[in-house]
Amino acid sequence: MVNKIGQQMMLLGIVFMVAAFIAAILMIDPMKDLLSIGRTSLDCSNTSITTGEKLSCLIVDATLPYFVITALVAGAAYIFYKTSMGS
């Protein structure tokens, strides 16, 4: 059974995770604009680019999903850390 401090820490952790997730969601639109500028600068729609340029385009395309996943994992890790330390 979790004591009262552990319950409060878990609730506080959930609040921080939701705040971090909202901050990450708010940063998606500016990141999409920057990523589209990066794609046009790299000329990713061109079929005759080199392998290194294709890899750069792939990394630019994968930036946004990895950002959201990292924000979710960081929030969950914070909750699990706080709940394990509080009990």
Over residues 15-66, the pLDDT tens digits come to 877 887 888 888 888 988 888 888 888 888 888 989 998 999 899 888 888 8
User: What pTM was estimated for this model as a whole?
Assistant: 0.60
Tokens representing 52 are 């290194």
What is the distance, to the nearest Å, from the Cα of residue 9 to the centroid of all Cα atoms in its chain? 23
For the chain, the structural domain boundaries read 28-86
- Give 53-62's long-range contacts (Cβ < 8 A, gap of 24+): 60/35, 61/35
Per DSSP, 47 falls in state T
pLDDT surpassing 80 at residue 87: no
What is the distance, to the nearest Å, from the Cα of residue 58 to the centroid of all Cα atoms in its chain? 17
Contact at 8 Å (CB) between 7 and 87? Answer: no
